Amino acid sequence: MTTRNLEVLTRAGIHARPASMIAETANRFESTIEIEKENMRINAKSIMGIITLGATYRTKLLLICTGDDEEDAANTIEALFKNRFE
Protein backbone atom coordinates (compact mmCIF):
# COMPACT_ATOMS: atom_id res chain seq x y z
CA MET A 1 0.00 0.00 0.00
CA THR A 2 1.23 3.47 -0.95
CA THR A 3 -0.26 6.60 0.58
CA ARG A 4 0.13 10.31 -0.10
CA ASN A 5 -1.14 13.34 1.79
CA LEU A 6 -2.79 15.70 -0.68
CA GLU A 7 -4.07 19.25 -0.40
CA VAL A 8 -6.54 20.92 -2.74
CA LEU A 9 -4.70 24.01 -4.04
CA THR A 10 -7.29 25.26 -6.51
CA ARG A 11 -9.53 28.07 -5.24
CA ALA A 12 -12.63 26.44 -6.76
CA GLY A 13 -11.93 23.14 -5.00
CA ILE A 14 -12.59 19.84 -6.72
CA HIS A 15 -15.48 20.35 -9.11
CA ALA A 16 -16.42 18.44 -12.29
CA ARG A 17 -13.27 19.11 -14.36
CA PRO A 18 -10.70 18.16 -11.69
CA ALA A 19 -12.86 15.19 -10.61
CA SER A 20 -12.90 14.01 -14.20
CA MET A 21 -9.13 14.39 -14.48
CA ILE A 22 -8.58 12.41 -11.27
CA ALA A 23 -10.94 9.60 -12.30
CA GLU A 24 -9.55 9.44 -15.83
CA THR A 25 -5.99 9.23 -14.47
CA ALA A 26 -6.91 6.65 -11.81
CA ASN A 27 -8.59 4.45 -14.41
CA ARG A 28 -5.30 4.10 -16.30
CA PHE A 29 -3.93 2.02 -13.42
CA GLU A 30 -4.79 -1.50 -12.28
CA SER A 31 -4.36 -0.67 -8.60
CA THR A 32 -7.22 0.05 -6.26
CA ILE A 33 -7.11 3.82 -5.75
CA GLU A 34 -9.06 5.51 -2.98
CA ILE A 35 -9.23 9.00 -1.54
CA GLU A 36 -10.11 9.62 2.08
CA LYS A 37 -11.44 12.81 3.67
CA GLU A 38 -12.01 12.65 7.42
CA ASN A 39 -14.02 9.42 7.81
CA MET A 40 -15.23 9.15 4.18
CA ARG A 41 -13.35 6.93 1.71
CA ILE A 42 -14.26 6.87 -1.99
CA ASN A 43 -13.12 5.09 -5.15
CA ALA A 44 -10.91 7.54 -7.07
CA LYS A 45 -12.01 5.91 -10.33
CA SER A 46 -15.52 7.33 -9.83
CA ILE A 47 -16.19 10.95 -10.79
CA MET A 48 -19.33 11.03 -8.64
CA GLY A 49 -17.46 9.58 -5.68
CA ILE A 50 -14.82 12.29 -5.95
CA ILE A 51 -17.42 15.06 -6.15
CA THR A 52 -19.23 13.71 -3.06
CA LEU A 53 -16.09 14.41 -1.01
CA GLY A 54 -16.96 18.10 -1.21
CA ALA A 55 -13.26 18.98 -1.24
CA THR A 56 -12.86 22.75 -1.15
CA TYR A 57 -9.75 24.95 -1.21
CA ARG A 58 -7.11 23.75 1.28
CA THR A 59 -8.95 20.50 2.06
CA LYS A 60 -6.55 17.79 3.21
CA LEU A 61 -7.03 14.36 1.64
CA LEU A 62 -5.33 10.99 1.92
CA LEU A 63 -4.61 9.05 -1.27
CA ILE A 64 -4.43 5.26 -0.81
CA CYS A 65 -3.17 3.05 -3.65
CA THR A 66 -2.93 -0.74 -3.47
CA GLY A 67 -1.71 -2.97 -6.28
CA ASP A 68 1.11 -3.75 -8.69
CA ASP A 69 1.37 -0.20 -10.05
CA GLU A 70 0.53 1.61 -6.80
CA GLU A 71 3.68 3.73 -6.70
CA ASP A 72 3.20 5.06 -10.24
CA ALA A 73 -0.49 5.70 -9.56
CA ALA A 74 0.25 7.62 -6.36
CA ASN A 75 2.97 9.72 -8.02
CA THR A 76 0.79 10.54 -11.03
CA ILE A 77 -2.26 11.57 -9.02
CA GLU A 78 -0.14 13.53 -6.54
CA ALA A 79 1.32 15.46 -9.50
CA LEU A 80 -2.22 16.42 -10.61
CA PHE A 81 -2.84 18.03 -7.23
CA LYS A 82 0.58 19.74 -7.09
CA ASN A 83 0.07 21.16 -10.60
CA ARG A 84 -3.43 22.40 -9.67
CA PHE A 85 -5.00 20.23 -12.37
CA GLU A 86 -3.31 22.20 -15.15
Output DSSP code: residue 35. E
Q: How far apart, in Å, are the Cα atoms of 71 and each of 11, 34, 61, 63?
A: 28, 13, 17, 11
Q: Smallest Cα–Cα separation from 54: which of 15, 21, 86, 7?
A: 15
Query: Quick check: 63 and 78 in contact, CB under 8 A?
Result: yes
* Residue 15 bears catalytic tag: yes
Catalytic one among 3, 15, 67, 69? 15
- State the catalytic residues: 15
